[in-house]
Chains A and B, each alone.
Chain A
Amino acid sequence: MKSIGIKLSTTSSLFIFLGFLIAVFSITSEHFLSPYNITSLLTNISYSGIAAIVLTLIIISRGLDISIGGVIGLTTVVVATLYSQNDPLPTWLILIIGLGTGAIVGFINGWCITALDMDPIITTLGAMAITRGLAYVISDSQSILMFEDTTDYISNGTIFYIPIPIIIFILTVIIFSVLLHKSKFGRSIYAIGANELSAEFSGIAIKSKKMILYILSGVAASISGIILLGQTSVGMPQHGLGTELEVITAVLLGGAALSGGKGTIYGTVAGVLILGVLFNGLTISGVRYVHLQIFQGILLLVAVATYEIKTRNEVAR
């Protein structure tokens, strides 16, 4: 009962903080609450939010994936390059290859982490460098224009006035909250993160579960990449630069702990929203992007510090 109480209060305090931010920005800027700004804010967070949702599961399992940004860049380059050929493959196949890019990177990450027992931070740090490098090589460091109806629709189309990226994000949230909080798979993820040895002794197939998570994370990053590609109509190796930091900040802000076993989808949604609102609000209040990065760094440290202080209090009790 106690743990549920803490979880509830953490998530609800995050939403209270979010409400506070919204209140402040709606006072400081008359444009903040305009339908246009709200839509653009939500569309923007959807792109990194999808990756954050999947990363939540990885962090709960006591892993980490920092190759997200690299995979985003690589995916935009792979898709745009394939499309810009003289006789391009059908778009659906190109998109599948795009998603496959993330899946392959995820598979390799998962294999190193499970079969070779490598540290997830180092493994995905390597993958980050490799994917980013590959993106530069494939694109020859150039931006590749891509005007194509399907990707344009995925990123800019609407269903009942709701932009499709937002719909994809909401679907991801629903699917993964059921998966994490209601399913047997989700329970195994918590068990692995909280105590891997006891999970193994309880007969949970740890390696295959971790493998699935890293593949899912790669695919999620590729989806983010495809959305970004549609929004910008250009594939380029710099796409997604720093996104991993944004995504990790959102997840940790949402209450997940790098030590594993803790975190919720709703927490991450709150983290993503807070980050999105803060960036959007500061931007329209005239704060420059370079300053935003400082805010993001501070937020990451605050998130981790809050967790540490809370755990210390729990131990002291």
Chain B
Amino acid sequence: MKSTLLKMSKICKSYPGVKAVDDVSIDLFSGEVLGLMGENGAGKSTLIKMLSGAEIMDSGEIYINEEKVNINSPKSAQDCGVSVIYQELITMDTLSVAENIFVGQLPINKTTKLIDWKTAEKKSSDVLSLLNSKINPKSIVGTLSIYEKQIVEVAKAIHKNAKVLIMDEPTAALSEKDSKSLFEVIDKLKSQGVGIIYISHRIEEVFNITDRVSVMRDGMFIGTKTTKSAKKKEIISMMIGRELNQFFPEIKSEKKGIALKVSGLNIDGIIEDINFEVQRGEIVGLFGLVGSGCLNIARSIVGVDSIDQGDIDIDGRKVSIKDPKSSMKNKIGFIPIDRKHEGLTLDFSVKQNLSLQSLEQLGSGFIINDSIENSIAKKWVEKLEIKTPNIDVQVKNLSGGNQQKIVLGKTLETNPEILVVVEPTRGVDVGAKMDIYKMLESLCHQGVAIILVSTDVPEILSISHRVLVVSTGKIRKEFKKGEANQQDLLYEASLS
């Protein structure tokens, strides 16, 4: 913890109209994990991009091992020993693990002048075993799990002698078990003197694994706290600039009769004999680790995954749902897991996204009625407090939280009576999270039946009235609200 590995001093970066990073100074010691927190749009990503050479700073200085460096391209960042593991992994899926780790510098056999696969694979195994991983270097990366891909990326960084490793929301797509393994890897890297900048919205996690936490807000550096002596509330209020009395709203259950009944649902080899009911005004959580089949249950209710056996009854009437269109006809709304690829049309404007699911309602004939469309957009921008300069801005220019609100708005415009929500607050800042919970609360009061699929343990425990724990394709356990704590939930989910 003594030597300063990285020092970023007085970094500034402006885009037309916005000061994305405003006079930020951060330092990182070797063998340290520094948490970097802030709401979406706080400037974390921009700061990281300048460190990794993806963006060039307007002013400021970067020192590595107290030596001033000039980072102006990803290559120069790499030469300085800086590596980034992005949230959206950039592995080459059609190539092998060894090829990914050695990309661009595969060893050459001196006599044949061909690639020396044996050495490449041997060295890959060595690096991987440093990370407690037994991944076969010959495996094709596309066939690996997200966690394994992450490990391959870390191995690639280690192989390139990374001294500074930046991890951007590494656990966002990981199960609790894989997250734990990742934390072990992080510990190991620490002991080897690597400095890690760890970006995450999951405050529990940040408190568990970091040594210090730096907070940014609105492009500015707010402060750094030693994790041990800091309080979660304190960090959160640094992030949002106000006291947060209560993280999760208390949502009262008002059961008003069964809205959805699922019986004997089966997808061969994925889910088996799934039975449950959801009442109007009730939030039922589905919790399971990645690969448990949780997501498939949700997707089969909205017609994305097709079921092999089983019935879905709505209001006591058997319905046939073969695609998202027919699920919408049955008044089922869906908030998919991946807002950028499944939920939104990024090139469309705020207005066009909000009205897309209700196209047929935009006027009686063929032609889109502009005033109806505008009023729909304005209604949701106001109701969900979507922060956007106007309704004609392309949604790709908005922050994650505001994008997520648009996904919610476009679905709610169809007046669903049953809502299937998957990871509604993943990668979303604290303020937007609160707004989304408030919206779920008000839907619950209006008598909407809600199915919440989430791997965020505190969230699913606090928001749902009942949690069904799914593991290896079956519902293993049901907890009523308050019956289980985080450990119980994880324990049940990890049984098979």
Q: Is the A/B pair a real complex? A: yes
**Chain A contact residues, CB within 8 Å of chain B:** 1-4, 178-179, 182-185, 187-188, 190-191, 194-195, 197-205, 261-262, 317
| Bound form: Cα–Cα A141–B414 in Å | 57
What would be 21 A-B contacts, judged by CB atoms less than 8 Å apart?
Answer: A1-B392, A1-B393, A3-B349, A183-B368, A184-B359, A184-B367, A187-B356, A187-B359, A188-B359, A194-B346, A198-B343, A198-B356, A199-B345, A200-B323, A201-B304, A201-B324, A201-B334, A201-B342, A201-B343, A202-B410, A203-B325
Interface centre among A184, A185, A198 (most CB of B within 10 A): A198
B interface residues, how many (CB within 8 angstroms): 34
- B344 interface residue per 8 A CB criterion: yes
| Bound form: Cα–Cα A198–B346 in Å | 10
Tell me if B352 and A187 are in contact (CB < 8 A): yes
| Bound form: Cα–Cα A190–B348 in Å | 9
| Bound form: Cα–Cα A184–B363 in Å | 9
Q: In the complex, what's the smallest C-beta–C-beta distance from A115 to chain B, in angstroms?
A: 14
Q: Which of B396-442 contact A (CB under 8 A)?
A: 397, 410, 414
Tell me if A194 and B347 are in contact (CB < 8 A): yes
Question: Across chains A and B, which 6 residue pairs bring their CB atoms closest together, nearest first?
Answer: A203-B325, A203-B328, A202-B357, A202-B356, A195-B345, A183-B366
- B254 interface residue per 8 A CB criterion: no
Chain A positions within 8 Å of B304 at CB level: 201
Chain B positions within 8 Å of A197 at CB level: 341-342
* B356-399 near A? 1/0 per residue, CB < 8 Å: 11011011001110000000000000000000001011100100
| Bound form: Cα–Cα A1–B394 in Å | 8
**Chain B contact residues, CB within 8 Å of chain A:** 15, 304, 323-325, 328, 334, 336, 341-349, 352, 356-357, 359-360, 362-363, 366-368, 390, 392-394, 397, 410, 414
Tell me if A4 and B392 are in contact (CB < 8 A): yes
Chain B positions within 8 Å of A190 at CB level: 348
| Bound form: Cα–Cα A142–B147 in Å | 65
Closest to A192 in B: B345
Chain B positions within 8 Å of A2 at CB level: 393-394, 397
Interface centre among A4, A202, A204 (most CB of B within 10 A): A202
Closest to B343 in A: A198
Q: In the complex, what's the smallest C-beta–C-beta distance from B241 to chain A, in angstroms?
A: 29
| Bound form: Cα–Cα A197–B343 in Å | 8
Q: In the complex, what's the smallest C-beta–C-beta distance from B42 to chain A, in angstroms?
A: 20
| Bound form: Cα–Cα A182–B359 in Å | 12
Tell me if B367 and A178 are in contact (CB < 8 A): yes
Chain A positions within 8 Å of B356 at CB level: 187, 191, 198-199, 202, 204
| Bound form: Cα–Cα A242–B188 in Å | 63
Chain B positions within 8 Å of A182 at CB level: 367-368
Tell me if B368 and A195 are in contact (CB < 8 A): no
Closest to A198 in B: B345
| Bound form: Cα–Cα A205–B329 in Å | 13
Tell me if B366 and A185 are in contact (CB < 8 A): yes
Interface centre among B345, B348, B390, B392 (most CB of A within 10 A): B345
| Bound form: Cα–Cα A185–B304 in Å | 23
Chain B positions within 8 Å of A261 at CB level: 345, 347
User: If A2-B394, A183-B367 touch, does A203 touch B362 (CB 8 Å cutoff)?
Assistant: no
| Bound form: Cα–Cα A203–B359 in Å | 9
| Bound form: Cα–Cα A184–B368 in Å | 6
Chain A positions within 8 Å of B360 at CB level: 184
Chain B positions within 8 Å of A179 at CB level: 366
Known: A1-B392, A183-B368, A204-B325. 11 other contacts (CB 8 A): A184-B363, A184-B368, A187-B352, A187-B368, A195-B341, A198-B341, A201-B324, A201-B342, A202-B357, A203-B328, A205-B325
Chain A positions within 8 Å of B410 at CB level: 202
| Bound form: Cα–Cα A1–B17 in Å | 15
